[in-house]
Amino acid sequence: MTQQKWTAADLPVMTGRTVVVTGASSGLGLITARQLASAGARVVLAVRDETRGRNAASTMPGTTDVRSLDLSSQASVRAFAAAWTGPLDILINNAGIMQVPRARTGDGFEVQIATNHLGPFTLTLLLMPHITDRVVTVSSEMHKRGHIDPEDLNGENRPYDAFQTYCDTKLANLLFTFELQRRLARAGSGVRSMAAHPGLSKTNLARHVTGLKGLGLKILASFAQDAEHGALPTLYAATAILPGGSYAGPDGRGERRGYPTIVQASEDARDEQLARRLWDTSASLTGTGTGQTLPSAT
């Protein structure tokens, strides 16, 4: 018997549940937010550009809220978390940037590691006292090309390679996901930490990429699935009955396209010692995560 494929039609009724989706004004984040709102959730669109966020929210049914969040700025992340009141059922760390030119944030961090890892790290831990169900962090198959040196997260001791740095941040996403799950389990919490990757999907994530790499990505895009399918692994990780630490991705060949299923992360992503070192460095850089109180089981 052929196993039934999971689609957005399998989303549970989300009435009464609150979800934060970062980067929800376009691409996979917009689709993710729209589908959850359609299922009855109250969806908070956490976005850099509030005008774009409001435009996106206007296309969604149900209850939505738009709030400012720039993950590259620790001050913005802290302001968002400080303003939060009440329970938060699901946090979806979707926002990210890809292969941008080398730059430093106002905090002095390399911009890709700041936006893709350090921002979500701080956001998740500051919101943790409010989270009741799960955290979903969006990674990429490119994590398998990542190499993390926790003592040199900002790449000060090596030439800058925009593509390699992106891959490194996606590995960081998984190391964080699995380490958070281990810490939640040790704390006796019922909150789950999950990850997902969209496969090869048509979004504007690679809009900064030029030259031969940009041409290569445009060629790959011709084989990509649409954003509606790309968002399915995130929706699956956010709502399906799955154990903590699950990693969802497409079921097709090479995990490039298809319907969501549980997939395998790289050996490096499962390295517990590396994950602890990354956590400690991230905590030191951001001033978050050292002695952080995790929620108790409910």
What is the mean predicted confidence (pLDDT) over 46-71? 97
Nearest by Cα to 109 from 58, 63, 165, 36: 165
Residues with Cβ < 8 Å from 173, sequence gap 6 or more?
A: 93, 116, 117, 120, 137, 138, 139, 140, 143, 195
Tokens of residue 133, six digits: 């169900």
On the question of pLDDT at 297 being above 50, the answer is no
Whole-prediction pTM:
0.91
Residues 282 and 153: their CA atoms lie apart, in Å, by: 9
On the question of pLDDT at 208 being above 60, the answer is no
Phi and psi torsions of 19, nearest 5°: -130, 135
Residues 290 and 278: their CA atoms lie apart, in Å, by: 12
Per-residue pLDDT, 296: 43
Question: What digits encode the pLDDT tens for the residues 39-58?
Answer: 999 999 999 999 999 999 99
Q: Which of 74-88, 253-267, 271-285 has the lowest mean pLDDT?
A: 253-267
**Candidates 160, 166, 247, 259; catalytic one:** 166
On the question of pLDDT at 209 being above 70, the answer is no
For each of the domains in the chain, give its residue range(s) and CATH number, in order of start.
12-286 (3.40.50.720)
What is the mean predicted confidence (pLDDT) over 249-260? 88
Is 247 one of the annotated active-site residues of the chain? no
- Angstrom distances, CA of residue 42 to CA of 127, 178, 213, 267, 276: 17, 27, 39, 37, 34
Q: Of residues 105 and 210, which shows the higher confidence score?
A: 105
Question: What digits encode the pLDDT tens for the residues 229-245?
Answer: 999 999 999 999 999 99
